[in-house]
Amino acid sequence: MAGQMPALSFNTTFDAQTGRPVAVTDGLVRVTAPNAGPYTFKGTNSFIVGHDRVAVIDPGPDDGAHLAALLDAIAGREVEAIILSHTHLDHSALVPRLKAATGAPVWSGGKHRLSRQRRLFEINAVGRESDWHLVPDRVLKDGEHLRIDGVMLEVIATPGHCANHLCFGLPGTPFLLTGDHIMGWNSTLVSVPDGSMADYLTSLEKVIGLGYAHYVPAHGGSIEDGPDYARALLAHRQERNRQVVAAVEAGARKIRQLLAPIYPQLPLALQAAALMTLKAHVEYLANRGLIGVTNGPFGTTMFPLRA
């Protein structure tokens, strides 16, 4: 049917094989960390790229067992670089110990930074989960190509989940490492001011147009038809925007009041994440003049702009 929203279906059947090297494709091996949780699913997927020499993408949490699993999978090979999709601690906290063990430099999209300046009285809800002290040895730029022992990586800037988020394509193959930008088990958390819904939606559209078909995220299993799934995610976010506008027009004034009409059966453990992402939607809509907001010491107050 013309105009029908693509169906968004999450896959929660991922077999993580925690701590074991799992071949994804030639020159790409996954090792999943033992940090399962409501925000990390079965754990953070670290990736080893290359053959005789390698790079490690997203070392993961500061966990001794995971460090040992990565070093076993590296098996004494030279590590050319430790590469980060972004600097949330579930991806980067192991960097100092892995760097000490391998001597490899750290490459990323730069130091952790906010997507916009924090407002007076505003709390950065994911501030404690961010790696503010990590300074990369090399700042990667959008469009760069990295060669790791014959395996090419294309650097793709995808801000939104956070400001320095990167995806990595394997040119000449269907594979795209999507970090936390696109995951098959759930929609991505966007928490302002750390992240930006406007940037996230723009990055989704960018990734859809790249030509990579098979998405490999940093949490959960691979997504076979990546572009179709990303289109469904985009439609899902656009529908959330419409739901927020409708709820505000129906009388919702505080962000918490959006939970009942939009997430009527959401488990308590997931409500904090939902509130963070709803706040990002509210900011996006206010910046586009679709709802009105005031921000003060007691949070955000919303109001309709249409008569």
pLDDT, position 5: 56
Q: Do residues 80 and 48 lie in contact, with contact meaning Cβ atoms separated by under 8 Å? A: no
Give the residue-averaged pLDDT of 2-16: 81
Could you give the residue ranges of the DSSP H alpha helices within the chain? 64-74, 89-92, 95-102, 197-208, 226-249, 259-262, 271-287
Counting every residue written for the chain, the total comes to 307
> Tokens at residue 285, please?
């809509």
User: pLDDT tens across 31-88, in order?
Assistant: 999 999 999 999 999 999 999 999 999 999 999 999 999 999 999 999 999 999 999 9
Distance, in Å, from the CA atom of 87 to the CA atom of 79, rounded to the nearest integer, reads 20
Helix axes 271-287, 226-249, angle to 10 degrees: 80
Q: Do residues 167 and 177 lie in contact, with contact meaning Cβ atoms separated by under 8 Å? A: yes
Instruction: Return the CA Rg of the chain.
Output: 20
User: pLDDT tens across 151-181, in order?
Assistant: 999 999 999 999 999 999 999 999 999 999 9
Distance, in Å, from the CA atom of 137 to the CA atom of 187, rounded to the nearest integer, reads 31
Distance, in Å, from the CA atom of 106 to the CA atom of 229, rounded to the nearest integer, reads 31
β-pairing, 22-25 vs 28-32, is antiparallel
Question: How many CB atoms are located within 10 Å of the residue 254 CB?
Answer: 12
**What stretch(es) of the chain map to CATH 3.60.15.10?**
22-236
**Residue 97 region, left (φ>0) first, then alpha (ψ -120 to 50), else beta?**
alpha
Q: Mind giving me the DSSP string for 92-140?
A: HTTHHHHHHHH---EEESSS---SSPPPTT---TTGGGB-TT---SEE-
Name the 3-class secondary structure at 21.
coil
pLDDT at residue 1 above 90?
A: no
Query: Residue written as tokens 């959960």?
Result: 220
Does the domain at 22-236 match CATH 3.40.920.10? Answer given as no
Distance, in Å, from the CA atom of 148 to the CA atom of 155, rounded to the nearest integer, reads 13
The answer for residues whose C-beta is within 8 angstroms of residue 68's C-beta and 6 or more apart is none
Query: Residue written as tokens 């650097």?
Result: 155
User: pLDDT tens across 195-230, in order?
Assistant: 999 999 999 999 999 999 999 999 999 999 999 999
Query: Which of the four pLDDT bands, split at 50, 70 and 90, describes residue 269?
Result: confident
- Burial class of residue 161 in the structure, from the number of CB atoms within 10 Å of its CB (0-12 exposed, 13-18 middle, 19+ buried): buried
